[in-house]
Amino acid sequence: MFHEYRDEISKLKQQNAHFEKIFNEHNELDQKITNAENGIEPLGNLEIETLKKQKLLLKDQVYAMIMEYKKSN
C-alpha cells in the first residue's frame, strides 16, 4: 500500500504510534480478506464486504496522515 510513500511511512511508523496502529490494522484486514477470498478463513460475503469497508476507511486515514506529514516536512 502506498509504495510511492515508503520513506514517509517508515518515518511515520517510528514517530507516530497511532499511525503505526492503523497501518498495521489495515495490513491485518487485508490478509484476513485475502484468506477469506481464498477459502482459508470461512467468512460470508457480507462479512467480507464489511471488512473491505473497514480496510478502506483505514487506508483513507493512512493517506491523510501521510499527506499531512508531507506538508509539515
Per-residue pLDDT tens digits for 6-20: 999 999 999 999 999
pLDDT score for 1: 79
* Closest-CA residue to 66 (of 10, 9, 13): 9
pLDDT score for 52: 97
Residue 73's pLDDT band (cuts 50, 70, 90):
confident
Domain carrying residue 51: 3-72
Amino acid residing at 48: I
Per-residue pLDDT tens digits for 22-55: 999 999 999 999 999 999 999 999 999 999 999 9
**Number of compact structural domains in the chain:** 1
Inter-residue contact 29 to 35 (CB < 8 Å): no
Inter-residue contact 66 to 60 (CB < 8 Å): no
Inter-residue contact 19 to 13 (CB < 8 Å): yes
The H-or-E segment that residue 57 falls in is helix 45-72
